Amino acid sequence: MTAVFVAVGTGGYVTALPAGAKGRRRRFYRIAGLRGPMPTNDWWSSLVWMKFSERQYPHPLAVAAEPKGLRVYYPGATITANKDAIFAFMPEGRDDLVLGHSAVETFPDARGEAFSDWFVTARFGDAGRGMSVSYGHGSPYVYALFDEGGEAKVSVQQAADRLRRFGKVRHARRHGERPALWPLRPDRIDVGGHRAKCP
């Protein structure tokens, strides 16, 4: 199709894309049930536009969808704000916690499952073999539902030794912060390769 220029006032438009230009996005990373237009400029938009997301800042947490699951980081006192926005940074893997699934070593992608004005749910893995993880603006919590056939797998970096000291995983002190794990039922959680019975 040849592009035709259509004049409108002092400007105009073309009826087709110029040679070499990319067209509309045809593939989104979302579950089949999530339909309709996908936001391009929301804080979580990269979740549906990329195989795995960019770093996302729902504040007070910072998260990123990765092959092993959802990486969670707390920027703490480094969060700043001015009249225009709230700012934080998520460094590469230093004090992070990665929430994964014990039956899946790596996921092929992360997909959008649901979203609202404040929260988003990311889907890792196919139905029956994965997890759905929800997080949102203003919430210091990440909610995860695990499919049968597996359990929560928590990978930690520097905090690993402190988490392992507890027979029951409740919290661990790390740089004055206390990340916590609260399962909704008495499942077993795999923490850094060590299983710990949760209350």
Q: pLDDT of 102-150, one tens digit each?
A: 889 999 999 999 999 999 999 999 888 899 999 999 898 899 998 887 7
Q: What is the mean pLDDT of the chain?
A: 80
For 23-59, letters b (16+ CB in 10 Å) and e give eeeeebbbbeebeeebeeeeebbbbbbeebbebbbbb
* Residue 92 pLDDT class (50, 70, 90 cuts): confident
This prediction has a pTM of: 0.76
Residue 110's Cβ-count burial label (10 Å; 0-12, 13-18, 19+) is: buried
Give me the pLDDT at residue 107, please: 96
Residue spans per domain, the chain: 31-150
